A = this chain, B = another copy of it.
Amino acid sequence: MGEFELIRQYFMPLARLHGPHSILVGPGDDCAVQRVPSDSDLVFSIDTLVEGVHFPLDYRPDYLGWRALAVATSDLAAMGAEPVSYTLALTLPEADEAWLCGLASGLGKAADAFGLMLAGGDTTRGPLVLSIQVHGLVPRGAAILRSGARPGDLVVVSGTLGDAGAALGYLESRSGVDAQSSFADEAFVLERYHHPVPRLGLGAGLRGLATSAIDISDGLLADLGHILEASSVGANIERARVPVSAALTRLKGVESLDYALHSGDDYELCATIPEADWMGAPSLLKQQFTVIGVVEAAPGLRLDGAAVGSESDAIGFDHFRREL
């Protein structure tokens, strides 16, 4: 079997359709064709993952597939959008069957979990680089931007922060299991790195409620900084309120709050919500978020009232990577 046939064999099944969909033409033509309902806006985002930069060398291909699609889909969650389709631009040094099978498996599991189908792509020989573009729908005019935060809004985050960042530390040091940490705690944070889950339901729940939102890919302080910059406001965050998992707190030698503030890769959501709207929000939604601070008119980001510097690049987890 030739290389093309191998690639086709593993990727074409990712274009299978589940139930109602709006992809009229999928992979195999010059372009994909997607029908956008007249009451919806199209939203899309592209993310690139480079071996050794965004994931460890020799990273498991099924984990890579899940992670790559989750990272891209998280941007849809941050807009309050519902996923529809994705494209895959893949360069790889060789068409190794086991590796391709693993990648396709991870992509397929994530696509099924998030509700996406493969609509097109391009496969090329070259260094291992994946770019994934996701396409979603949001009711017309309802996309949640970064630019709407207003003084007095509450700053909220979903889930717990820092787990995936701590896991990446383990993976990069390759130090194995720390004898003083529990296996369960390490497994918990590692799973958070390997299989991030975009907060699609929470993002959709924030529509009409949040004045701004972003997914936390570069670290809470860096990403909240993007909201503040886009909204021309500032904020004060209370350290003690930043949600950290029990597992991360228990892990030996880990500065859990540092990870929670500075590390990315958890793909939780950070949003701003007017206090009155927060009070009236559905309790099921509120349970998924933690209020960590408040938006202020004075520019800049403060931790317990002390400025943390205006250069958001300097305080985030950053690897020569910036979404335009």
Interface residues of A (CB under 8 A from B): 2-4, 7-8, 11-12, 15, 24-25, 27-36, 38, 41-48, 50, 53-54, 75-76, 78-79, 81, 87-91, 95, 118-127, 129, 131, 133, 135-136, 138, 140, 143, 145-147, 213-215, 230, 313, 319-324
Nearest to A14 among chain B residues (CB) is B324
Q: Known interface pairs A41-B34, A324-B88. Does A146 touch B29 (Cβ–Cβ under 8 Å)? A: yes
Contact, CB under 8 Å: B313 / A2: yes
Question: In the complex, how many angstroms separate the beta carbon of A174 from the nearest chain B beta carbon?
Answer: 22
Q: Are B34 and A44 in contact (CB under 8 A)?
A: yes
CA distance A42 to B38 in the complex (A): 12
B4, B35, B79, B124: the one contacting A30 at CB < 8 Å is B79
Cα distance, A46 to B7, chains bound together (Å): 17
Residues of B within 8 A of A133 (CB): 46, 87, 89, 133
Is the beta-carbon distance between A48 and B214 smaller than 8 angstroms? no
Q: B89–A48 contact, CB under 8 A? A: yes
Identify the 3 closest CB pairs spanning chains A and B, nearest first. A38-B38, A125-B320, A50-B126
Q: Which of B32, B33, B125 contacts A321 (CB 8 A)?
A: B125
